[in-house]
């Protein structure tokens, strides 16, 4: 059981009226029902088709990190398909200069420091699902 689930369970069982926060998102929870109405900030953003595909093919919700892994894999595939050689420097260079990779989590590009930034969104748990507020 993820630590966020343990924390929320203890809050509920002890009838505590407290605010809480976590490093990992509520989306890491395996029991989102107990977070109903709770809001949080998340950078896990993906198109509905990805969530539907995960549910249909594997019977699971999209978990923390899945969209990142999906985008990283397809970014590598694109780099290999569009590079003349498969050496590490060429592939790395392709990814560093790419400015318009259209990923699940939105447009992605590497900054000079190699970090990828994704615009975070505020979400709320409704019907055991994380919903972006305001969209």
In the chain, where the domains are located = 1-43+120-135, 46-118
The highest-level CATH class for domain 46-118 is: alpha beta
Pairing of strands 39-42, 121-126: antiparallel
| Cα first-last separation, the chain | 31
Q: Tens digits of per-residue pLDDT, 50-105?
A: 888 888 999 887 776 788 888 889 899 999 999 988 899 999 888 888 877 888 87
pLDDT at residue 24 in the model: 66
Work out the burial of residue 114: count CB atoms within 10 Å of its CB; fewer than 13 is exposed, 13-18 middle, 19 or more buried. Answer: exposed
pLDDT digits (tens, 9 = 90+) for 96-109: 888 778 888 777 87
Given its phi and psi angles, is residue 74 left (phi above 0), alpha (psi -120 to 50 degrees) or beta? alpha
Measured CA angle at 120 (ends 115, 122), to 5 deg: 165
Q: What confidence tier does 12 reach under pLDDT thresholds 50, 70, 90?
A: very high
């Amino acid at each position: 059981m993820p630590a966020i689930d343990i924390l929320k369970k203890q809050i509920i069982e002890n009838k505590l009226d407290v605010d809480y926060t976590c490093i990992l998102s509520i989306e890491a929870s395996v029991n989102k029902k107990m977070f109903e109405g709770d809001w949080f900030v998340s950078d896990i953003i993906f198109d509905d088709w990805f969530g539907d595909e995960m549910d249909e093919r594997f019977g699971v919700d999209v978990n923390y990190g899945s969209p990142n892994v999906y985008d990283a894999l397809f970014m590598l595939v694109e780099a290999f398909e569009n590079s003349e050689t498969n050496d590490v420097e060429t592939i790395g260079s392709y990814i560093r200069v790419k400015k318009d990779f259209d990923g699940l989590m939105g447009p992605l590009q590497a900054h000079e420091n190699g970090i990828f930034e994704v615009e975070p969104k505020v979400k709320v748990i409704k019907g055991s699902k994380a919903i972006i507020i305001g969209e």
